[in-house]
């Protein structure tokens, strides 16, 4: 089974350089809407069995064009929701640089718990469980390899990829997941194979029947909570 981890398009919070978290009403900006529309062409040639998404508005808006194009009704999965950043929610990223927890998030993510929120280890546990359960459900339903979409958030995607890589969560900041990027994992009976990471190109049709391979993207600037790079 093959899952396309689709990060939502650029949001108003991304351009404001704030940590949106679960703040209600954060929507795609004009560029983000164009990115969402572009998902249709980027997935041309691929049969999509199902779309699963985070309950937040920016993910809902991101999958609307592809759902309409394929006549699919997205499944809302609460476990794919953004990280609960607690008291960090809504704050400018530049302010967070001075927080003692910042270095923990960067270097010891598995021990990072946001004040009044959740820990990154909790995020990984819930997200990986959700992805694997939906993958198993679709395998049983269809009886053969299908491609499905999981639309979620930067840190959530990075934590799922870290699990697929058998990488310790403390190293997950090495992974990049930009707005509207697609990362692809094929789960098999023995182990997962990472076919794409942070793909922002024109088409993803090559993953259909592709042999397991990797196309990792190494960040050249520090990643920050929310999945941003170089802020």
Mean pLDDT over all residues of the chain? Answer: 90
CA distances from 99 to 156, 197, 222 (A): 22, 30, 16
Q: What's the pLDDT band for 201 if we cut at 50, 70, 90?
A: confident
Q: What is the pTM of this model?
A: 0.88
CA distances from 195 to 18, 30, 83, 216 (A): 31, 30, 25, 9
Span 101-127, average pLDDT: 96
pLDDT digits (tens, 9 = 90+) for 171-191: 999 999 999 999 999 999 899
Query: Is the predicted pLDDT of residue 230 greater than 70, yes or no?
Result: no
First-to-final CA distance of the chain: 35
Q: What is the DSSP letter of 89?
A: T
Query: For 76, phi and psi rounded to 5 degrees?
Result: -85, 125
Which pLDDT belongs to residue 203? 73
Q: What's the pLDDT band for 202 if we cut at 50, 70, 90?
A: confident
DSSP-derived pairing of the beta strands 147-152 and 2-7: parallel
pLDDT digits (tens, 9 = 90+) for 31-80: 999 999 999 999 999 999 999 999 999 999 999 999 999 999 999 999 99
> Cα(78)–Cα(158) distance, rounded to whole angstroms?
17
């Amino acid at each position: 089974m093959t899952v396309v981890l689709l990060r939502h398009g650029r949001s108003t919070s991304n351009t404001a350089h704030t940590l949106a978290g679960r703040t209600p009403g954060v929507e795609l900006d004009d560029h983000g809407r164009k990115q969402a529309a572009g998902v249709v062409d980027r997935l041309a040639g691929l049969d999509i069995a199902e779309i699963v998404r985070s309950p937040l508005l920016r993910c809902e808006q991101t999958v609307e064009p592809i759902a309409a194009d394929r006549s699919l009704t997205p499944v809302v999965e609460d476990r794919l929701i953004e990280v609960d950043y607690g008291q960090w929610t809504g704050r400018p990223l530049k302010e967070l640089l001075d927080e003692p927890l910042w270095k923990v998030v960067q270097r010891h993510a598995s021990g990072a718990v946001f004040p009044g929120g959740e820990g990154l280890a909790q995020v990984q546990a819930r997200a990986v469980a959700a992805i694997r359960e939906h993958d198993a459900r679709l395998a049983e339903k269809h009886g053969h390899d299908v491609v499905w979409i999981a639309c979620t958030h930067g840190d959530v995607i990075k934590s799922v990829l870290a699990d697929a890589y058998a990488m310790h969560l403390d190293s997950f900041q090495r992974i990049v997941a930009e707005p509207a990027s697609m990362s692809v994992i094929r789960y098999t009976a023995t182990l997962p194979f990472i076919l794409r990471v942070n793909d922002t190109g024109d088409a993803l049709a090559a993953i259909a029947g592709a042999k397991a391979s990797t196309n990792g993207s190494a960040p050249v600037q520090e990643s920050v909570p929310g999945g941003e790079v170089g802020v």
